[in-house]
Amino acid sequence: MSEVRFTKEHEWVRFEGDIATVGITHYAQEQLGDVVYVELPEPGRKVEMGKDMAVVESVKAASEVYAPISGEVVEVNADLTASPATVNEDAEGKGWFARLKIANRSELDRLMSAADYKSYCEGLH
């Protein structure tokens, strides 16, 4: 069974076993507007929790995507290169950015649950 956690920078992470799938939240893609380009990390790259991992560009702005947990990139969503609008269409599903081999499971405890993230976003308005 998979569980999803969230960051205050609007990334989500769904973890199953020792693999974590990462992307930006529906809230983040709404704030960005139409996504026109996504720069993905290279497979094999080691990323660190809270550090930049990818870039997403929209008609409004370019934004860093931060690694919600530390790990090694084992797969990227190459479909986003040809079709970056997938992020707008299904940010928390088909619009995922990368899959990571989790380096430190205890980092997951520092992330927000879905309910906590929803409350956090409501407080931003």
Report how far Cα 20 is from the mean position of its chain's Cα atoms: 10
CATH number at 89 reads 2.40.50.100
pLDDT tens string 53-111: 999 999 988 999 999 999 999 999 999 999 999 999 999 999 999 999 999 999 999 99
User: Which domain range does residue 43 map to?
Assistant: 3-107
Q: Residue 114 falls within a domain, yes or no?
A: no
Q: Residue 117 falls within a domain, yes or no?
A: no
Q: Residue 120 falls within a domain, yes or no?
A: no
How many domains, the chain? 1
Smallest Cα–Cα separation from 40: which of 82, 81, 89? 81
pLDDT tens string 9-40: 999 999 999 999 999 999 999 999 999 999 99
Q: Residue 113 falls within a domain, yes or no?
A: no
Residue 3 has what pLDDT?
86
Residue 1 has what pLDDT?
56
Smallest Cα–Cα separation from 52: which of 2, 87, 7, 107? 7
Q: Residue 80 falls within a domain, yes or no?
A: yes
107 contacts 69 by C-beta, under 8 angstroms: yes
92 contacts 23 by C-beta, under 8 angstroms: yes
* CA pair distance 7, 82, nearest whole angstrom: 27
Q: Residue 122 falls within a domain, yes or no?
A: no
68 contacts 7 by C-beta, under 8 angstroms: yes
Q: Which class for 104: exposed (0-12), middle (13-18), buried (19 or more C-beta within 10 A)?
A: exposed
Q: Residue 44 falls within a domain, yes or no?
A: yes
Q: Residue 24 falls within a domain, yes or no?
A: yes
